[in-house]
Structure 1
Amino acid sequence: MHTFISGDNSMVDMGRDRAGEPRAEVWGRAVLLFAAFCGLKALSSLFVFPPLESASVWLPSGLTLAVFLRAAPRRWPAYLAAVFAAEVMLVPLYGDPWDMALVWGLGNCLRSVVGAGLMRRWLDGPVNFSQPRDVVALLVAGGLLSPVPSATLGMGAVALFGPASLSAGDFWHGWLGWYLADGLGAVLFAPLLLTWSAPRPVPRRALEDGELVGSMLLLALVAHAAFGVAEPRGILMSLPYLCLPFVLWSALRLGPRGAATAAMVLGTFAVWHTAARRGPFGAMDATLSERVISVQLFLAVAGLSTLILAAMACDRRRVEREQRLLAESGAVLAESFEPRETLPRVGRLLVPELFSGFAVWLLDEDGRLVPAARLGLAEPAEVRLREELLQLSEPSRRQLGPEGSAVLARIQHQGRLLGGLALVHAGHTHVARSRAMAFAEDLAHHCALALENAHLLGQFQSAVHVRDEFITVAAHELRTPLTALKLQLRNLQRPLQQGASSESLHTRFQAVSRQVGRLGRLVEGLLDVGRLNTGRLPLEREPVELGELVQDVVERFSEDLGRAGCEVSLSLQPHVTGRWDRARLEQALTHLLSNAVKFGARRPIRLQVSQGGGTARLVVEDQGIGVSPEALERIFGRFERAVPSQEYGGLGLGLFLTRQIVEAHGGTIHVTSQPGEGATFVLELPASSLVSYAHGPSPWPQPPADSHPT
């Protein structure tokens, strides 16, 4: 859902509007236009060739077209006055009748208004020839339509107020010459002024100005050689084609500015040599005026062609730049789940390289749009755009004026409004309008995904926090009655041991004790999970002999092992020591033995302790049901299980806590297994460096010969 808005005078920083510009400055520019018009008219008067009354080269038409295209319409009266005064006030210099000069001044004013007015209406923005549409509008409005009133009024004044009467043939011949001179002057000279007065493209290439100067110098040399031949014959008539590679190079490498500059450099030498009766066009069998008009037609075709080529290349580069910036914006949004941090960075990517302004609003808890990022926009313009965004409906478009423009897009996910954004451009054109809307919608989609991901992350973190709080509170609450229950069991154990109790009573007492111990281990496991959520497990390191630790744990497990029918074989290398937390390592080994008993009942279990270099190795191997390949890594996750909980009990915390304990010691744990073939867990821990061996150190020594079953 989007809209396109053309800005008005209230959006000062959105475009080319300068409502507060002093009148003195406007009239100062009008004086400069007057002086430039007089200078170009004097230059064009050198190309008045009898019997015509008009110049074959009329550069003021390009000057006035460019000035009126760049100026706001409210300033046109001052500039029209300057053009009219320049035409009338030069009457004594050229000896023209006053009445004829007045009509000529009116024709020049009408030509400027028609050409600039039509182009502004069709393009609705500044003309910089960055799109082919600009070139077509120049040809149609500036080259074909605008010369009609000036040529008609000009030749009409000659017919009415001239010293001699004109025949119909002479009138139309003079009208065509006047029309072509005015149109060609606009087509050839206006692009040079418009491209050089436009802002430089961003980003600029290194050594671009040097390349432009070098290309123009080479083109000038080639053009001088091609058009300066005194009396070309045969193949020498084709010499102007040598200039085309340089013109095309300028268009492709240097853009519209290079193309317009190349056309003017080429035109200067071509018209100069043709007027001097040199070159291919100077050798034509025609009047001098027709030769100059012909070379200008050639130059106009070449210039418009290269301008279109430059516009297409420029347009393609812009599309590539848009896609690159869109991808970079998506990457920036994905870097963090804090939209208020990433959205301003997105704005700095887009402004000023692609747009002149950028704003984003997010919906707060009260349903209001609040600014999240603003760049290149004053606060009044931002407030105005925010109000327009609130009025958006399926898709709507509003035209508010000729100055500046903005594209608004809603940021929404699955129909739920999350916010909105505005992309502001000074003088957005019709051609770029649909593309800017597509860009805004794509960017809004990226923002919506980022906001939704941030929202989901917040919900997830809240859920994790609630879960952690529940685990901690539940574990502490369970620990209190468990502690009391353990004390009562100890108090009950003394009279049972002293009195002549029945065997069945002792058996039931042991069963209750085992379940209380099991429940206590579950509670401690939950508490350890809570500790891990707030940081690493605390370790109390001390010198530990790994083989002794394994024997102690197996001895405590002897009753459970006997009840499960599991025979344990130990292969313990002596003097495998390190600075470890004994209680935590006992906890890790207890988890591994519990798993081996649970999943490998009535099958043997093998434990091996060895050392190689500075690494102690503990292997726990069972012959139980095994683990599927896809679950080998998953089983070390929190609350993860490789088998259904209906068949095997437990919370899925044992292997998770075991990995955390091993990694807290700077070690590693991994498992190898196949379904139905048991599992082998290997713990590797950093061992103490002060270890002596009877037969010298060796990597992974063979198990000692006195291995024995337990």
Structure 2
Amino acid sequence: MHTFISEDNSMAYLGRGKARVLPGEVWWRALLLFAAFCGLKSLSYFFLFPGMAASSVWLPGGLTLAVFLREDPRRWPLYLVAVFSAESVLVHLHGDTWSTVPFFALANCLRTVVGAGLMRRWLDGPVTFSRPREVVALLIAGGLLSPLLSATLGMGAVALFGPAPLSREAFAQGWLGWYLSDGLGGILVAPLLLTWAARRPWTWRFREDVELLGTMVLLALVAHAAFGGPAPRGIALSMPYLCLPFVLWSTLRLGPRGAATATMVLGSFAVWHTAAGRGPFGVMDATIPERVLSVQLFLAVAGLSTLILAALVCDRRRVEREQRLLAESGAVLAESLNPQETLPRVARLLAPELFSGFVVWLADEDGRLVPAARTGLSREVEERLREALRSLARPSERQLGPEGACVLARIQHRGRLLGGLALVQAGHTHLVRLRSLAFAEDLAHHCALALENARLLGQFQAAVHIRDEFITVAAHELRTPLTALKLQLQSLQRPLRQSPDAEPLLARLHSVSRQVSRLGRLVESLLDVGRLNTGRLQLEREPLELGGLVQDVVERFSEDLGRAGCAVSLSLQPHVTGLWDRNRLEQALSHLLGNAVKFGAGRPIGIQVEQGGDMARLIVEDQGIGVSPEALGRIFGRFERAVPSREYGGLGLGLFLTRQIVEAHGGTIQVTSQPGEGATFVLELPASSVGSYLSGTSAPSWSRPVADPHLT
């Protein structure tokens, strides 16, 4: 369904109210009003029933009401002169007497001034009948109150200056016909003119106009058949119901414009055929006044019902649009925790889509409100609104000012002021609706959450930075005594090896040396984490044969493998080469092999090297305790562990560093595991054609068993 384009064109309304119009243009408009009034007055006699003195629908009444609702009140006197003149010029054409003409003209002028004045006082902004209150104002001011003056003044002039005296019954009948005729003119014609005069996007005009034209053609054919039958009886009396689908289609699809147009087309056929004595309202046993009254009531009910339905649909769509924009604003605020980036985007979403102006302030360290985003408002208006925000006694408030109606709302979290915002409707002379106040409060709440999240993120990043600095400094400080300790242990071991009675002491020193080496690896891991956090992890690439690298790492682990009772089987495809960092890949494989030893002690370990396409694949498979499904997604995180540290020890950095090293090479790492069934890690690295560095040498076959007795 189409979106109705008639809701809140506040800037257009402001432009009409303040735009400078040249005097010549005002005179041309008055002349155009004069000509249109004359034409519609003549056309109104198309709605004249035989034997009746007044038209059943007074079309000029709707014309003048629409013009006065759109134009600046300062131009009304000139337009009133045009209306008065048009009524006087046509006096002889329609058989009126000179003595009644001033009263008739005055009746038209008073009806228009009272109706337009009341509606402008009750309503705010351009009248497009997209809100139910606009339809209610039209009914009360244009359909019920203002015709009281014109009917009373006009029929009073006929009674006083008419060619023949009127009976009380004739006066009452004439007054009622005049009253209903003027009211119908306002109810039917004014919405038609105002809705067609409302601005619409060019991209929608052609499509909507074609759809409306096709619907009106079908409605005209059905209305002609429904009201044109001669004296219907029985079930044929319900023929007008056939028009309802087309009227409802126009109302729901095309909004107030479709509703007003459909009602006018339907009313034209209903009056035409009823005046000729045809259709359900033109039954032969009814008097002419009864026919007039029946068709007038029908048109009044049809016009008001379709307008109120269209306004309700427009209002519903307006609420949906506000909720959609509020949700989009929340999504924009959640995309980034930088308010200087998100708040201007929110401003572009809301203005001028919902409001003509928008400004948001943020509180700085000194408590001052600094503009973070502003659109549709001058600097002077922004400063005045900022001062008004400071003096708010409540979290939000509606105000009226020279710039129009606005909503001010504080942005605060747990009583702490974070900033404020203002939503402005330029040119409005009434307070904005409570719904706009709720919208501003919700938007302020979204902004407060975004600002609080940004503050917490800043604190978190500062804490992480302090932690990383501490880790780096501590690792560097630990590295120096560890190096000295290693050297001291080596110097103690050399003389003890020459003594035959020092075997127990050598064993203890060897154990201490292993723990010192383990501590050294932990320190290096902490240093690597610091390098990753600061982006200083550099790769020194060189041509490598992956199978040879795997064999070197396994041989270096032979002592740990023997002590854990883990047999290693190798299946290494030859000539799997690439440009890789030897030290980093050895570090990654060491972490995987160390985990396999730690969690699968006493069980075999399998390592495979193969190549598929342009990717080298390294597979490490153990038969240890495995990884639970809920832990698979987090074991590659920093300081993450799948098992309690008290049972297996470690910092939870091995797999994290392994993933970082693999991804730094442009590769990926994956794991598959089931609890109690071991784990399989698959590393994929980009392979490259660097086999020339092996030319002249025969590539060894790494699929044979290695010599260590613990490796098979």
> TM-score scaled by structure 2?
0.82
Preserved contact between residue 588 and residue 661 of structure 1 (Cα < 8 Å): yes
C-alpha displacement of 1:236:
5.6
Preserved contact between residue 571 and residue 707 of structure 1 (Cα < 8 Å): no
Match for residue 569 of structure 1 among 562, 567, 570: 567
The 3 A distance-change label for structure 1 pair 482 and 290 is: same
Match of 2:461 in 1: 461
Alignment of 1:294-305 (within 5 A): 294-305=294-305
Match of 1:179 in 2: 179
C-alpha displacement of 1:264:
1.5
Match of 2:247 in 1: 247
Counterpart CA distance in 1 for 2:279 and 2:593 is 101
Preserved contact between residue 191 and residue 260 of structure 1 (Cα < 8 Å): yes
User: Higher mean Cα deviation, 659-668 or 111-120?
Assistant: 659-668
Alpha-carbon displacement from aligned partner over 1:394-414 (angstroms, at most 9, x marks no partner):
365445379953344433344
User: Higher mean Cα deviation, 116-125 or 634-643?
Assistant: 116-125
Q: Which residue type is aligned with residue 17 of structure 2?
A: R
- SS at 2:126 equivalent: coil
Alignment of 1:475-494 (within 5 A): 475-483=475-483, 486=486
The answer for unaligned runs of 5 or more in structure 2 is: 1-9, 695-701
Counterpart CA distance in 1 for 2:317 and 2:667 is 54
C-alpha displacement of 1:147:
0.9
Q: Which residue type is aligned with residue 212 of structure 2?
A: L
Match of 2:149 in 1: 149
Q: Which residue type is aligned with residue 112 of structure 1?
A: T
Alpha-carbon displacement from aligned partner over 1:653-692 (angstroms, at most 9, x marks no partner):
1222223334444555455666677666555656788799
Preserved contact between residue 275 and residue 282 of structure 2 (Cα < 8 Å): yes
Match of 1:578 in 2: 577
- SS at 2:567 equivalent: strand
Match of 1:139 in 2: 139
Alpha-carbon displacement from aligned partner over 1:142-161 (angstroms, at most 9, x marks no partner):
11221111111222222333
The 3 A distance-change label for structure 1 pair 400 and 670 is: closer
Alignment of 1:138-287 (within 5 A): 138-200=138-200, 204=204, 207-229=207-229, 238-285=238-285
User: Higher mean Cα deviation, 248-257 or 31-40?
Assistant: 31-40
The 3 A distance-change label for structure 1 pair 40 and 56 is: same
The 3 A distance-change label for structure 1 pair 54 and 431 is: farther
User: Higher mean Cα deviation, 307-316 or 672-681?
Assistant: 672-681
The 3 A distance-change label for structure 1 pair 656 and 394 is: same
Alpha-carbon displacement from aligned partner over 1:435-474 (angstroms, at most 9, x marks no partner):
3333333333333333333333333333333333333333
User: Higher mean Cα deviation, 232-241 or 361-370?
Assistant: 232-241
Q: Does residue 1:29 correspond to 2:50, yes or no? A: no
Preserved contact between residue 546 and residue 609 of structure 1 (Cα < 8 Å): no
Alignment of 1:302-321 (within 5 A): 302-321=302-321
Alpha-carbon displacement from aligned partner over 1:533-565 (angstroms, at most 9, x marks no partner):
344843334455556545544554455566xx4
User: Higher mean Cα deviation, 231-240 or 23-32?
Assistant: 231-240
C-alpha displacement of 1:91:
5.1
Counterpart CA distance in 2 for 1:554 and 1:663 is 23
C-alpha displacement of 1:192:
0.7
- SS at 1:146 equivalent: helix
Instruction: Tell me the matched-pair count.
Output: 690
Preserved contact between residue 56 and residue 181 of structure 1 (Cα < 8 Å): yes
Match of 1:43 in 2: 43
- SS at 1:126 equivalent: coil
Counterpart CA distance in 2 for 1:401 and 1:656 is 60
Preserved contact between residue 398 and residue 406 of structure 2 (Cα < 8 Å): no
Alpha-carbon displacement from aligned partner over 1:497-548 (angstroms, at most 9, x marks no partner):
7899966775665556445433332232122112323448433344555565
- SS at 2:438 equivalent: helix
Q: Does residue 1:19 correspond to 2:18, yes or no? A: yes
Preserved contact between residue 472 and residue 530 of structure 2 (Cα < 8 Å): yes
C-alpha displacement of 1:65:
1.9
Match of 2:372 in 1: 372
Alpha-carbon displacement from aligned partner over 1:275-315 (angstroms, at most 9, x marks no partner):
45554544544565654453233222222222223223333
Q: Which residue type is aligned with residue 467 of structure 1?
A: R
Match of 1:360 in 2: 360
Preserved contact between residue 596 and residue 605 of structure 1 (Cα < 8 Å): no
The 3 A distance-change label for structure 1 pair 79 and 600 is: same
Counterpart CA distance in 2 for 1:95 and 1:574 is 114
Counterpart CA distance in 1 for 2:675 and 2:268 is 87
- SS at 1:652 equivalent: coil
Counterpart CA distance in 2 for 1:51 and 1:660 is 97
Preserved contact between residue 397 and residue 408 of structure 2 (Cα < 8 Å): no
Q: Which residue type is aligned with residue 572 of structure 1?
A: L
Match of 1:539 in 2: 539
User: Higher mean Cα deviation, 226-235 or 530-539?
Assistant: 226-235
Alpha-carbon displacement from aligned partner over 1:180-238 (angstroms, at most 9, x marks no partner):
11112211211111211222379848721111122222333333444445666666655
Counterpart CA distance in 2 for 1:315 and 1:394 is 28
Counterpart CA distance in 1 for 2:455 and 2:393 is 25
The answer for unaligned runs of 5 or more in structure 1 is: 1-10, 693-700
Alpha-carbon displacement from aligned partner over 1:599-623 (angstroms, at most 9, x marks no partner):
566x455454454756454435365
Q: Which residue type is aligned with residue 68 of structure 2?
A: F
C-alpha displacement of 1:370:
3.1
Preserved contact between residue 13 and residue 376 of structure 1 (Cα < 8 Å): no
Counterpart CA distance in 2 for 1:454 and 1:203 is 40
Counterpart CA distance in 2 for 1:402 and 1:36 is 36
Match of 1:7 in 2: none
Preserved contact between residue 669 and residue 684 of structure 1 (Cα < 8 Å): yes
Match of 2:3 in 1: none
User: Higher mean Cα deviation, 373-382 or 580-589?
Assistant: 373-382
- SS at 2:564 equivalent: coil
Percent identity over the alignment is 73
Match of 2:65 in 1: 65
Counterpart CA distance in 1 for 2:287 and 2:645 is 103
